């Protein structure tokens, strides 16, 4: 990797890392893991900068890589379910925001959704991407995105209601 | 409903605000990036050596057997392995004797040619995003099942932008009976990432024929798509 390529990678990192970390944080619910995933994404993309003919496409490329890395993380570790059960039972981690009631319930509920539903909700509602773009990232049809979001929101309401009751 | 969405959006924005705006470039990231680029370069050189050696052996065989040389063959020496973000996946299935059988087609939607080699990891998720338990077994490629000639360059599959590779799949005995839709996840291996493959008919799932038997998924290696 030449000095110029290293400089370009650093420039892209400064420009995009914060937004990428926010997306990874939404998908994983864990700040440290999010920062690790973003570093991994930039390392992965480093070797492909030379093929990036449209610099404007980097944003989309990075977003897709983050989503894939988050999915791979949960699948590879095969701990999503146990992780969610564990965090559901654990008191808030040190450094978590103080309990502000319903918004914390929403956040915890979001992290307990299956990863594809969570990803679809984050990309549609937080990133405000059109259904077709979300479908491209998830590799599915726009109708499937609608269904994932709808089912995810329904499950989220159930989680929030049961947490509120408890 | 709108209130719920607004509240969810606001909660996400509040959480996002916890991440600082300005981040320094971690020196470890640049070091890892340099190592990765260097490793890729070494792998490309080694790949080129293997291909040249293989080509030399092939030429020697052809000369020895009096065969004719192919008109031309694309050089794959400079091509890098496809990353999941370069590909778009599509699953095409049909019913076959109590199973569903077909292929996963992976189209290069990136801007550069790349290669696929080996056999991907394939998993299936139900409508709730939960992974379906399947026993994965390797199967032979479609070209071999059809007794067709070995594709040029196989087992390396070179993908020009817009062209597709294919993976043969056969899924049997989904118990308890799934009602669909399901989604397919393809792990390219070698750290190249995982992508989701949409389906022409996501509700296509095999019948539950043996509730006490495992669900099986036969997966073939990458091969050039029949339509390529």
Q: Is residue B72 predicted with pLDDT exceeding 50?
A: no
- pLDDT confidence tier of residue A1, bands split at 50, 70 and 90: low
d(CA A145, CA A139): 10
> Which fold, B82-224?
Immunoglobulin-like (2.60.40)
**Bridge partners, residue A159, by sequence:** none
What pLDDT, on a 0 to 100 scale, did the predictor assign at position B76?
45
Domains of chain A are 1-78 (1.10.1740), 79-166 (1.10.10.10)
- Could you tell me if the ipTM is greater than 0.85? no
* A18 contacts B20? CB cut-off 8 A: yes
H/E element, B60: helix B27-65
Q: Which residues of B touch A113 (CB under 8 A)?
A: 129
Residue B36 at interface with chain A, using a CB cutoff of 8 Å? yes
What pLDDT, on a 0 to 100 scale, did the predictor assign at position B59?
54
Which tokens sit at B179? 């009602």
Q: What are the DSSP calls for A37-67, one per residue?
A: HHHHHHHHHHTTGGG---GGGHHHHHHHHHH
Of A149 and B65, which is predicted with more confidence?
A: A149
- What burial letters (b/e) apply to A102-116, b meaning 16+ CB within 10 Å? ebbbbbbbbbbbbbb
What pLDDT, on a 0 to 100 scale, did the predictor assign at position B219?
93
Put simply, the chain B residues between 138 and 177 with a CB less than 8 A from any chain A CB are none
Q: How far is CA B131 from CA A114, B65, B124, B185, in A?
A: 10, 51, 6, 10
* Top mean-pLDDT range of A109-113, B123-127, B197-201: A109-113
d(CA B194, CA A97): 32
d(CA B23, CA A24): 15
What pLDDT, on a 0 to 100 scale, did the predictor assign at position B25?
83
Query: CB–CB of B217/B136 below 8 Å?
Result: yes
Three-state SS at A75:
helix
Q: Which residues of B touch A122 (CB under 8 A)?
A: 12
For residue A22, the distance in angstroms to the closest alpha carbon of chain B comes to 5
> What DSSP state is assigned to residue A95?
T
What pLDDT, on a 0 to 100 scale, did the predictor assign at position A153?
94
**% chain B with pLDDT above 70:** 76
Query: CB–CB of B115/B77 below 8 Å?
Result: no
Structural domain boundaries in chain B = 1-69, 82-224
| Closest C-alpha among B87, B80, B81, B82 to residue B185 | B87
For residue B13, the distance in angstroms to the closest alpha carbon of chain A comes to 7
Task: Tell me which of A48, A108, A164 to substitute to probe the interface with B (most B C-beta atoms closer than 10 Å).
Answer: A48
Q: How far is CA B120 from CA B139, B140, B217, B222, in A?
A: 12, 13, 12, 7
* B11 contacts A103? CB cut-off 8 A: yes
Q: How far is CA A59 from CA A73, A94, A134, B166, in A?
A: 21, 32, 14, 29
Average pLDDT, rounded, for chain A: 81
What pLDDT, on a 0 to 100 scale, did the predictor assign at position A151?
94
**A5-9, A75-79, B218-222: segment of lowest average pLDDT:** A75-79
* B32 contacts A97? CB cut-off 8 A: no
* B88 contacts A43? CB cut-off 8 A: no
pLDDT in tens, B149-179: 888 888 889 999 899 999 999 888 888 877 7
* A113 contacts B29? CB cut-off 8 A: no
- pLDDT confidence tier of residue B73, bands split at 50, 70 and 90: very low
Residue B18 at interface with chain A, using a CB cutoff of 8 Å? yes
Residue B43 at interface with chain A, using a CB cutoff of 8 Å? no
* B127 contacts A151? CB cut-off 8 A: yes
What pLDDT, on a 0 to 100 scale, did the predictor assign at position B50?
65
pLDDT in tens, B16-44: 888 887 567 888 888 888 888 787 767 66
H/E element, B45: helix B27-65
d(CA B106, CA B83): 11
| Closest C-alpha among A55, A156, A91, A139 to residue B106 | A139
Q: Give the rounded distance of the alpha carbon of B89 from its chain centre.
A: 8
* B7 contacts A102? CB cut-off 8 A: yes
Residue B42 at interface with chain A, using a CB cutoff of 8 Å? no
pLDDT in tens, B184-193: 899 998 778 8
d(CA A25, CA A126): 12
- pLDDT confidence tier of residue B74, bands split at 50, 70 and 90: very low
Task: Tell me which of A21, A139, A158 to substitute to probe the interface with B (most B C-beta atoms closer than 10 Å).
Answer: A139
> What DSSP state is assigned to residue A2?
-
Question: Across residues A137-148, what is the average pLDDT?
Answer: 90
Q: Is residue A92 predicted with pLDDT exceeding 80?
A: no
| Distance between first and last Cα of chain A | 55
Which tokens sit at B55? 């080509």
Of B60 and B11, which is predicted with more confidence?
A: B11
Of B191 and A154, which is predicted with more confidence?
A: A154
Q: Is residue A87 predicted with pLDDT exceeding 70?
A: no
Q: Which residues of A touch B187 (CB under 8 A)?
A: 72, 75
Q: Is residue A154 predicted with pLDDT exceeding 60?
A: yes
d(CA A65, CA A137): 9
**A37-46, B22-31, B114-123, B157-166: segment of lowest average pLDDT:** B22-31
pTM score over 0.80 = no
Question: Across residues A67-72, what is the average pLDDT?
Answer: 89
What pLDDT, on a 0 to 100 scale, did the predictor assign at position A163?
62
Three-state SS at B182:
coil
């Amino acid at each position: 990797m030449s000095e110029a390529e290293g400089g370009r990678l650093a420039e892209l990192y400064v420009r995009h890392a914060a937004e990428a970390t926010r997306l990874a944080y939404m998908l994983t619910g864990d700040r440290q893991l999010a920062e690790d995933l973003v570093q991994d994404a930039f390392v992965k993309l480093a070797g492909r900068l030379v093929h990036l003919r449209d610099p404007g496409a980097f944003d989309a490329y990075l977003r897709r890589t983050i989503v894939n890395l988050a999915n791979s993380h949960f699948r590879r570790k095969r701990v999503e379910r146990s992780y969610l059960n564990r965090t559901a039972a654990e008191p808030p981690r040190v450094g978590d925001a103080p309990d502000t009631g319903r918004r914390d319930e929403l956040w915890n509920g979001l992290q307990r959704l299956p990863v594809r539903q969570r990803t679809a909700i984050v990309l549609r509602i937080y990133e405000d991407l059109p259904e077709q773009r979300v479908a491209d990232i998830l590799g599915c049809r726009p109708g499937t995105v609608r269904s994932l979001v709808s089912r995810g929101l329904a499950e989220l309401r159930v989680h929030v209601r049961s947490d509120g009751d408890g | 409903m709108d209130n719920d969405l607004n509240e969810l959006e606001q909660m996400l924005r509040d959480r996002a605000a916890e991440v600082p705006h300005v981040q320094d470039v971690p020196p470890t990231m640049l070091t890892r990036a340099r190592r990765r680029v260097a490793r890729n370069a070494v792998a490309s050189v080694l790949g080129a050596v293997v291909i040249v050696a293989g080509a030399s052996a092939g030429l020697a065989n052809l000369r020895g057997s009096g065969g004719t040389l192919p008109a031309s063959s694309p050089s794959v020496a400079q091509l890098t392995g496809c990353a999941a973000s370069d590909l778009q996946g599509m699953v095409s299935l049909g019913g076959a004797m109590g199973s569903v059988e077909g292929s996963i087609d992976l189209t290069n939607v990136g801007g550069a040619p790349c290669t696929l080699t080996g056999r991907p990891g394939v998993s299936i998720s139900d409508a709730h995003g939960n992974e379906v338990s399947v026993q994965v077994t390797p199967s032979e490629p479609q070209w071999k099942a059809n007794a067709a000639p070995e594709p040029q360059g196989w087992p390396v599959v070179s993908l020009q932008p817009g062209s597709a590779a294919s993976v043969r799949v056969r899924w049997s005995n989904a118990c308890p009976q799934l009602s669909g839709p399901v989604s397919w996840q393809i792990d390219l291996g070698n750290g190249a990432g995982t992508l989701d493959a949409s389906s022409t008919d996501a509700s296509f799932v095999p019948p539950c024929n043996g509730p006490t038997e495992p669900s099986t998924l036969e997966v073939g290696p990458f091969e050039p798509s029949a339509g390529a």
